[in-house]
Structure 1
C-alpha cells in the first residue's frame, strides 16, 4: 500500500478546514441576507408600514372564500383570475383539520402548492391559520380533537350547555394547536425561497359566540382569582389612552390595584369579556412567539366587528380582538403585530377609526359583505383606507367569487393604487395624503394639504349606485396627484396673507418607472378638478370603472 507523505495530509486537512469555514461563513451570510429581506413592520413617526424586500409595501389584497384553498385542483384557475384583478396579495387559509388529519401526521401538500402557485403568478401570500378557532367556534380542528372532549374540553355556557368552542385555558388544547402551527412555520421556511409569504394570521375571529364567558369549573376558578399584575400595571400606566369599555369598567369600580376580575372591573358582561380577551390573547401570543422563533415575519389577528348599541358580548365573539378589547390584546399578546379590522360595517369609516388605537395600524383583511350584495364598495373603501387611515392593507372577502368578474371596478382601482403605491407610502409617512368617500360619516367634508384646502363634491349626474371617492397626495408645495371617480374637488387657499387661489394646470396620466407620463392636458370645458375629467355633467359619462389620475398645479395670491 502506497504511503501518503505527511505534508500532503496536512495540506489536505488545511484545504478541508478552509472549505468548511467558507461554507459556514457562506451559510451565515446567506441567512443574514435572508433575514434582512424578511417582511417586517417599520414605524416612522405615527405610521407603521409593511416592508417587503426593504421597500414599503401596500397589501392590495383579496381574501379567498373559506373553502377555495382546501384543494389545489380547485385553485388551478383561481390564481390567474385573481392576478388579473390586479391583486398583489392573496389571503388564504390553511386549516388544521386538513393539515394534521391524524395526530402527528402532517400533510404539507396544500401549503407547498399554494406557495408555488402564488409565486408562479407573481402574487404574495398572507396565510390564515384556521386552528383552534374560526368565527368564534372550532369547526376547523381535526376530528381527533373534536371527538376527544375529555382531553380537549369545550367551553360551557352559563346554563351548562357545551359550546362548539374548545377551551382557551386548557394546556392540551394549546399544545396541540401549537405543535401544528410550528410545523406549518417550519414548512414555510423550507419551501418559501422567494419570500412569497408576507404575514401570518393566527386563528380567525376568535371569541365565544352565544355567551359572555366560559362558565366551566376551570374557567370560573380563574375568574375568581386575582387579575394578573401585568394587566393592572398596563391599565394604570395607560389610563388616559384606554378604550372606554376598559376605562369605565376600571375607574367606575374604584381603580383598584388588585382583586378578582369582578373585584377590579365590577360585575358586568363587559368584565366577562375582558377576562375572556385576556386568556385568548395569552393563548394566541404563545403561537405567535413560537412561530416567530422559527420564521420572524409579522403576525396579526382579525376581529369580528363588535356591534354597538345595547348588545352584549356573545352576540359577537366575546373576548376577540374587537375594538372594545384592543388594550387587553395589546397587553396580553405583545408578539401580535396588528389587531386587524374585519370591516363589514355600514359605518365603514367609524369601524376603521376604532382600530387606529395606541399605535395599532389599520389592516382590513376582510371587507364588503357579498351576502348583503355589497361588492362595488370595494374600490371606494380601498382608496379611503389607504389615504385617510394610512392603512397597511385592504382586502375584500371572497375575491374569487363570481361577483368579482373581469370588469369589476376593483380591477381598475387596484391598477391605480399599485401605480401610486410609492407615492402613497411616502405620503403616509410625511402626512401629505388624505382621501374621501361619499356617504361615509367619517369621511372629511374638507381637509388641508400644504397651503390649500380641498373639498370633495359628489353633486353630479350619475347612477345612484355609484358613490364618489378619491385620494389626494401632495408632491410639492403647489402640486398634487388626485385620483378617484364620480366627484369634483373644490380648492381654496389656506393662507390668510394670500387668500385667493387659482388652478394653473391639469394633466391626466399615470406613473411609468416612477416618472409622471402625461396622457393629455385638460383645459377648456374640461378644466377643473373633475373625476373623471369629462367636459359635461352627463350621467352616462360616469361609470364604475372610470377611475382617473390627475396631476394638478395650484397658485395662491
Structure 2
C-alpha cells in the first residue's frame, strides 16, 4: 500500500510540475515584438512572422457561421492570418454578463483553416462614432455622457451654430473608460486562458478612434480643460523628445508660448484642437489598453482614419483626436502601453503615409488598405523596403481568387525566412511604381521627404544598389492593369533571390571598369523550405546573360498570374582590354 501511495504521490508531483512548467512557459511563448537590427518583428511560437493578412468586413465576424465562410475564403486566398472583430455589444450584452461563444468560435474556425488572428475590439469607438457600444451604455446618457458638438453645417462655419449630443462617448468621463476597460480585460483574460495554440497574435484596440463630425467636445469639463494649463506630463515628454518630434509637432513646439501655465491654444497654436483631443482620446484608450495588457500582454495597436490634405486644419472632417500622423507624439506620450500606431490607407499616396507612420520607434503595419491590383506591390514594399510586420486589404473575403494578392502571398510565404532574416539590414530592397491620379495639391501636411526616397510616379526606371552590384530596374506593362514591383534579397556577395511583376532588370557593377553578367539563373520554388528548380534560365529568357524579366517568360503550363521566384548569381569581368 505504501508503494502504491508513494507512486501516486510521485505521479501527482510530476503532473503538478508539468502543469507549472506549462503555465510558466506560456508567457515566454506568447506572441511578442522583438528587435532584429533596425527592424522590430512579430514573433509567434518562437519565430518571426509576417502577417500575410486581410481584414474581414465589419459584420463578417458577427456570427460564427458567416465568419466560418469568411475564414475559409481567407485560406483559399493564401492568407496566413485574418483580422476579425469582436464587438463590445455582443461580448457584454448585459452589464457584467459576458458571452464567450463568438471569440471561441473565431479561434476554432481560424485554427481549422490554419490561420492566425488579429482581433479588433469594436467598443467605445468605431470610425469616430460609438455605434458598437452595448445598448446598456448607449441608453444611459447620464452615466455615460455623449460628446456635444455642432451640426456639419455648424462645423464648416454655416448658419447652424447650435450644439447637439452626438453618437460619440465623451472621452472626458471615467465611467465610460472604466466600463470599456473592464470588458476588454475580461476578453483578454479569456483569450489567455483558452488560446493554447496562440491563434490570436495581436489586438487592435478600438477602431479609428476620435470624434467624427465634431472638432472639439463642448462638454463643460472639456471647455474648462482646453482653457487650462497643458499637463506637465505631456510638456516633459515633448521637451525630452524634441529632437525626434514629427514635423508638424516640432513646428508647433518651436512656436509655443513658454510662460508658466500656458493653455492648449497658447502652447500648440493652430494644432491646439488636434493636440487637445488627441491627448484625451489617447488617455482614454490607454486605460483600456493597459487593462487588457495586464490580463494578457500581447502586441496591441491603434489604427487611424487619416487626415487627408484637403482637410488640413479641419478636425471633425476626420475623427478629431485620432492617431493622425501629426499627432503621433501626443499618442506616444499619452498611451505608453500601446505598441504600434497604424495607418488605414485608402489615399493614392500610399508610400508617403507609410513613411509618415514609420516614425522613430513605430513599426509599420497596414491593417486596412484599399483593395486593387496594386495590393501585391504594396504588401511586398511594406515588408521588404520598410521592414513592416504585415499588410491587410479591407473586405478580403470579397476578393476573388487568382488575383495578384494570392500570388504575392504565396511567394512571400515561401520567402518569409529570408525576408525576416534580412529585415533591418541592407540585404533586402524593394521597389514599386506607384501610380498617383493627377490631384491638385496632393501632399501630406507638414511632411517632407529627402529626394530619392520616393521614385517619381512617372519614372520609367530606378537603380537599386546592393553590395558591389547595381540592378537597373525598368518598369514594364507586360501584365496589363497590374502594378510593377521587385524585391531583392542578397544571400551572399554575388547571390540573390529576386521576385516581382512587370519589371525587367539589367545588371551593373559599382566599379565602372567592370561589366556585370549572369553566371546562373534558376526559376523555382521553395518547397518545404528546400529550393526546387523548375527551369534554368538562359538564352532568350536572360537576353543571353544580361537581364531578367518578371514574368520570366510565358510558362505555358502555369497561369499567367503566377509570380516567379528566381535565384541568380552574378559575376564581373574587366570592361576594357589591356593595351
If the length of structure 1 is used for normalisation, what is the TM-score? 0.91
DSSP 3-state at the match of 1:157: strand
Query: What are the equivalent positions in structure 2 for 1:108-507 lying under 5 Å apart?
Result: 108-157=100-149, 159-254=162-257, 258-266=261-269, 268=270, 270-309=271-310, 311=312, 312-368=314-370, 374-401=371-398, 404-440=399-435, 443-444=454-455, 445-463=462-480, 465-495=481-511, 498-507=513-522
Task: Give per-residue Cα distances to partners, 1:318-341, cap 9 Å, x unaligned.
Answer: 111121111111111111101012
Among 86, 92, 104, the residue aligned to 1:94:
86
Does the 8 Å CA contact 1:365/1:396 hold for their aligned counterparts? Answer: yes
Q: Which residue number in structure 2 is paired with residue 513 of structure 1?
A: 528
Does the 8 Å CA contact 2:107/2:200 hold for their aligned counterparts? Answer: yes
Does the 8 Å CA contact 1:506/1:523 hold for their aligned counterparts? Answer: yes
Q: Which residue number in structure 1 is paired with residue 446 of structure 2?
A: none
Q: 1:543 to 1:490 in 2, by over 3 A?
A: farther
Q: 1:279 to 1:505 in 2, by over 3 A?
A: same
CA RMSD of aligned residues (A): 2.4
Task: Give per-residue Cα distances to partners, 1:93-122, cap 9 Å, x unaligned.
Answer: 000111111112211111110111111111
Task: Give per-residue Cα distances to partners, 1:300-323, cap 9 Å, x unaligned.
Answer: 110111112453221111111121
Alignment partners' CA distance in 1, 2:113 and 2:478 = 40
Alignment partners' CA distance in 1, 2:309 and 2:572 = 45
- Offset, 1:14: 8.2
Alignment partners' CA distance in 1, 2:72 and 2:54 = 13
Alignment partners' CA distance in 1, 2:414 and 2:99 = 39
Q: Which residue number in structure 2 is paired with residue 49 of structure 1?
A: 41
Q: 1:236 to 1:64 in 2, by over 3 A?
A: same
- Offset, 1:500: 2.6
- Offset, 1:221: 1.6
Q: 1:196 to 1:260 in 2, by over 3 A?
A: same
DSSP 3-state at the match of 1:446: strand
Alignment partners' CA distance in 1, 2:364 and 2:61 = 26
Q: 1:519 to 1:15 in 2, by over 3 A?
A: closer
Task: Give per-residue Cα distances to partners, 1:243-272, cap 9 Å, x unaligned.
Answer: 122111121124567522122222x3x211
- Offset, 1:458: 1.4
Alignment partners' CA distance in 2, 1:100 and 1:323 = 33
Alignment partners' CA distance in 1, 2:148 and 2:118 = 33
Q: 1:117 to 1:523 in 2, by over 3 A?
A: same
- Offset, 1:436: 1.3
Does the 8 Å CA contact 2:125/2:168 hold for their aligned counterparts? Answer: yes
Does the 8 Å CA contact 1:472/1:481 hold for their aligned counterparts? Answer: yes
Does the 8 Å CA contact 1:466/1:544 hold for their aligned counterparts? Answer: no
- Offset, 1:191: 2.1
Query: What are the equivalent positions in structure 2 for 1:7-18 lying under 5 Å apart?
Result: none
- Offset, 1:28: 2.8
* Gap runs ≥5 in structure 1: 369-373
- Offset, 1:225: 2.3
Alignment partners' CA distance in 2, 1:180 and 1:37 = 25
Q: 1:327 to 1:229 in 2, by over 3 A?
A: same
Alignment partners' CA distance in 2, 1:494 and 1:364 = 35
Q: Which residue number in structure 1 is paired with residue 562 of structure 2?
A: 546
Q: 1:12 to 1:278 in 2, by over 3 A?
A: farther
Q: Which residue number in structure 2 is paired with residue 70 of structure 1?
A: 62
If the length of structure 2 is used for normalisation, what is the TM-score? 0.88
- Offset, 1:79: 2.2
Task: Give per-residue Cα distances to partners, 1:198-223, cap 9 Å, x unaligned.
Answer: 01100000011123221210111222
The more displaced of 322-331 and 415-424 is 322-331
Task: Give per-residue Cα distances to partners, 1:470-504, cap 9 Å, x unaligned.
Answer: 211111101111111111123321235x5432222
Length, aligned pairs only:
535
The more displaced of 43-52 and 416-425 is 43-52
Does the 8 Å CA contact 1:244/1:324 hold for their aligned counterparts? Answer: yes
- Offset, 1:440: 4.8
